[in-house]
Structure 1
Amino acid sequence: MEPTAKLDPMTEAALRSLHEIATPEPVSWLPQTWGWAVLAGALFVMLILAGIRWILHYRANAYRREALSLLPGIAEQLSNPATRPNGIRNLGEVLKRTALAGWSRQEVACLSGDAWVRFLDEHDNDDLGHALERLLNDFEYRGSVLADLPSNVCGDLVVAARNWIERHHVSA
C-alpha cells in the first residue's frame, strides 16, 4: 500500500470545513397564486352542477325505464297467437301510460283513434311510428286479424314502441 500523502495544514483545514451539499426543498404542488384556487373552485362547482343535472335527468326518465322494462313481456305475448290480442292491448296501454307520465293528463287522457296516432307521430323524433299507426288504427279493434299477423310485424310493433319510448321529446 502506498502511504497516504501528507497534505498541507491549509488543505486539511479546508477539507474538514466542508459540509454536505444542501439540497433545496422540493417544489410544492399547491397553487402559488389565487387564480389557480379560483379555477379549481369553478371546476368543482361545475362538476357538482353536472352531477345534479345528471341525477335530475335520470329521475325524470324513470317512466321510460319502467315502460321499457315491460316491453319484453309484451313481446313474448305478441309472439304467441293465443295471447296476441292481450299483447296488443298491453302495448297500447304502455304507450298511453308513457305519454301520461310525460305530458299533462288534460293533453293525453282524452286522445284516441286518429288523435292518438297524430299525437304519437308529432312527438316521434325519427318518424318510426308507422308500425304503431297500423297498430292503433287497425289491429287494436280487429281481434280476428291479430291471430294471422306474421311474427315480424309483431316484432316491428315492439321495436317501434321501444323507439318511441326511448326517443320521444317532452317539451319543458
Structure 2
Amino acid sequence: MEPDPITEAALRSLHDIATPEPVSWMPQTWGWGVLAGALLVMLALTGIRWILRYRANAYRREALALLNVIDGQLRNPATRRDGIRELGEVLKRTALAAWPRTEVASLSATAWVRFLEQHDVDGAAHALERLVDDFEYHGAEVVADLPSNVCGDLVVAARDWIERHHVPA
C-alpha cells in the first residue's frame, strides 16, 4: 500500500526538532566579573595572610615539639632536674623569638615572672612562677622528689603560655 500523496508531502516537509544553543557560563553583565575578581583577590589575600601567620608561629611549633621531649624527661625522676632546667630554657627561647632581645634577655626572677604574666592570656604564668622562683635553682635531690603531678602542671602551664601568649603587632 502506497501512502497517499498528501501524507508523503507532509512527511517530507517535517524538520528535526531545533534545540536551543547551550546557555553560556560567562556572566552576562560586567558586575558579575567584578564580583568574581573581588572574590579572587580576597581569597589570595586570605591565603597570603594564612602563610604569613603560619611562618610567624614557627617558633611556637618548635617550642611545643621541645616541650614534648621535656615532658618525657619530667616523668623520669633521674632526668627531672634536666627537664626543669630545659623547661625554663624553652620558655626563655620562646620569648626571645617573639620579642626583641633587649627586652627579654636580661629578665630573671621577679622581672621574668612579671613578663610572663603580662603576656599571658589565660593565667598560666602563675604556675610558671613556681618554676622560675623555686625549682630552677634547687639541687637535684629536691627536684627529683617532686610529685609527677607538679611536673605535669608545669608542662601544661608552659604549653598554655607558649600557645596563647600575646605578642603585640
TM-score by length of 1: 0.92
Shift of 1:131: 1.7
Shift of 1:162: 0.6
Matched, 1:106 2:102: yes
Partner of 2:124: 128
Match of 2:149 among 140, 149, 152: 152
Matched, 1:168 2:165: yes
Distance 2:144 2:15 in 1: 99
Partner of 2:32: 36
Shift of 1:15: 2.7
Identity among equivalent pairs (%):
76
Shift of 1:13: 2.0
Listed as ranges, the gaps of 5+ residues in structure 1 are none
Matching residue's letter, 1:135:
L
Matching residue's letter, 2:164:
R
Listed as ranges, the gaps of 5+ residues in structure 2 are none
Partner of 1:140: 136
Matching residue's letter, 1:170:
V
Distance 1:15 1:148 in 2: 104
Distance 2:41 2:86 in 1: 45
- 1:65-89 CA deviation, whole Å, 9 max, x = no partner? 1101101211111112222111111
- 1:81-119 CA deviation, whole Å, 9 max, x = no partner? 222111111000000000000000111011000000010
Shift of 1:142: 1.5
Shift of 1:10: 4.0
Distance 1:12 1:90 in 2: 100
Partner of 2:78: 82
TM-score by length of 2: 0.94
Shift of 1:11: 4.3
Match of 1:26 among 22, 25, 29: 22
Distance 1:85 1:57 in 2: 35
Q: How many residues align?
A: 168
